[in-house]
Amino acid sequence: MKKREQLISRILKIIPEVKQGLIRSILITLLYEAVQLVPVILIKLLVDSVVEDSSTISLIAWIIAGMFGVYLFQNGMDYFGDLWTHKQMLTYETLILKKAEKKLLDLHMGYHEKYNPGMHVSRINRGASKLTELVWFFFNEFLPTIIQLILTTILLLYEQWLIAVIFLVFSLLIFFIIDKTAKQVQPLRKIYLKKHDQAFSEMGQSLSNIGTVKDYAQEKREFGIYSLLLNQFFIASMARMKFEIKRILGRDIIINIGRTATLAVASYMVLKGIMSAGSLILVYTLSEKAFLSVFRLGKIYTHVGDSIESIHRLSDLLDEEILIKDKENPQKIKHLDGNIEFRKVSFRYNKKSPWVLRNVSFNIEPKKVIALVGKSGGGKSSVIKLLMRQYDVTSGNVLIDNFDVRDYYSEDYRRRIAIVSQNVEIFNRTIKENIAFSKPEASFSDIVRAAKLAHAHDFIKNLSEKYNTKVGKDGVKLSGGQKQRLSIARALLSDPDILVFDEATSSLDSGSEKLIQKAIFSIAGKKTMIIIAHRLSTIENADEIIVLGDGKILEKGNYKALMRRRGLFFKMVSLQRMRV
Residues 6+ apart with CB under 8 A from 562: 545, 547, 555, 556, 569, 570
Q: What pLDDT score was predicted for residue 162?
A: 83
Whether 395 has a pLDDT exceeding 80, the answer reads yes
Residues 152 and 33: their CA atoms lie apart, in Å, by: 9
- Tell me the mean pLDDT in the region 497-514: 72
Question: pLDDT tens across 424-442, in order?
Answer: 777 778 888 888 888 888 8
Taking the CA atoms of the chain, what radius of gyration do you get in angstroms? Answer: 35
* Closest by CA position to 512, among listed 456, 434, 435: 456
Q: What pLDDT score was predicted for residue 493?
A: 84
Q: What pLDDT score was predicted for residue 1?
A: 38
Question: pLDDT tens across 26-58, in order?
Answer: 787 788 777 877 777 777 777 767 666 666 777
Helix pair angle (18-51, 57-106), 10° resolution: 160
- Its pTM stands at 0.63
Question: pLDDT tens across 531-573, in order?
Answer: 887 777 778 788 888 888 888 888 888 888 888 888 888 887 7
Whether 403 has a pLDDT exceeding 60, the answer reads yes
Whether 171 has a pLDDT exceeding 50, the answer reads yes
Q: What percent of the chain is modeled with pLDDT above 70?
A: 83
* Closest by CA position to 247, among listed 180, 297, 303, 295: 180
Whether 369 has a pLDDT exceeding 50, the answer reads yes
**Using an 8 Å Cβ cutoff, are 416 and 332 in contact?**
no
- Tell me the mean pLDDT in the region 222-232: 83
Maximum CA extent, the chain: 122
Q: What pLDDT score was predicted for residue 325?
A: 77
Whether 377 has a pLDDT exceeding 50, the answer reads yes
Q: What pLDDT score was predicted for residue 506?
A: 62
> In 18-27, which positions are buried (b, 16+ CB within 10 angstroms) versus exposed (e)?
beebeeebee
Q: What pLDDT score was predicted for residue 100?
A: 75
Question: pLDDT tens across 183-202, in order?
Answer: 777 777 777 777 777 777 77
- Tell me the mean pLDDT in the region 219-245: 81
Range name among 268-277, 502-511, 565-574 with the lowest pLDDT average: 502-511
Whether 512 has a pLDDT exceeding 70, the answer reads no
Determine whether 446 is exposed, middle or buried from the number of CB atoms within 10 Å of its CB (0-12, 13-18, 19+). middle
Whether 177 has a pLDDT exceeding 50, the answer reads yes
Strands 552-557 and 417-420, how do they pair?
A: unpaired
- Tell me the mean pLDDT in the region 235-256: 80
Whether 21 has a pLDDT exceeding 70, the answer reads no
Q: What percent of the chain is modeled with pLDDT above 90?
A: 0
Q: What pLDDT score was predicted for residue 7?
A: 65
Mean per-residue pLDDT of the chain: 78
Q: What pLDDT score was predicted for residue 146?
A: 78
State the alpha helices, DSSP H only, in 107-140. 109-114, 117-137
Q: What pLDDT score was predicted for residue 531?
A: 85
Sequential DSSP letters for 529-547: EEEE-SSGGGGTT-SEEEE
**Using an 8 Å Cβ cutoff, are 369 and 529 in contact?**
yes
* Closest by CA position to 206, among listed 191, 192, 218: 218
Beta bridge partners of 399: 341, 404
* Closest by CA position to 7, among listed 277, 309, 281, 242: 309
- Tell me the mean pLDDT in the region 147-151: 77
Question: pLDDT tens across 306-343, in order?
Answer: 666 667 677 777 766 777 777 888 888 888 888 888 98
Residues 6+ apart with CB under 8 A from 345: 357, 359, 360, 361, 386, 393, 395, 396, 397, 398
Residues 445 and 301: their CA atoms lie apart, in Å, by: 61
* Closest by CA position to 63, among listed 87, 38, 88, 80: 38
Instruction: Give me the domains of the chain, ranges plus CATH numbers.
Output: 7-319 (1.20.1560.10), 418-495 (3.40.50.300)
Beta bridge partners of 370: 530, 544
Q: What pLDDT score was predicted for residue 115?
A: 62
The angle subtended at Cα 327 by Cα 323 and Cα 329, nearest 5°, is: 155
Query: Which has more confidence, 334 or 128?
Result: 334
Range name among 6-10, 60-64, 231-235, 541-545 with the lowest pLDDT average: 6-10
How many Cα atoms occupy the beta-carbon half-sphere of 508 within 13 Å? Answer: 27
Q: Where is mean pLDDT largest: 243-252, 382-391, 516-525?
A: 382-391
Whether 281 has a pLDDT exceeding 80, the answer reads no
- Three-state SS string across 315-366, please? HHHHHCCCCCCCCCCCECCCCCCCCEEEEEEEECCCCCCCCCEEEEEEEECC
- Tell me the mean pLDDT in the region 246-268: 82
Confidence of residue 235 (pLDDT cuts 50, 70, 90): confident
**Using an 8 Å Cβ cutoff, are 371 and 532 in contact?**
yes
Sequential DSSP letters for 267-320: HHHHHTTSS-HHHHHHHHHHHHHHHHHHHHHHHHHHHHHHHHHHHHHHHHHHH-
Whether 4 has a pLDDT exceeding 60, the answer reads no
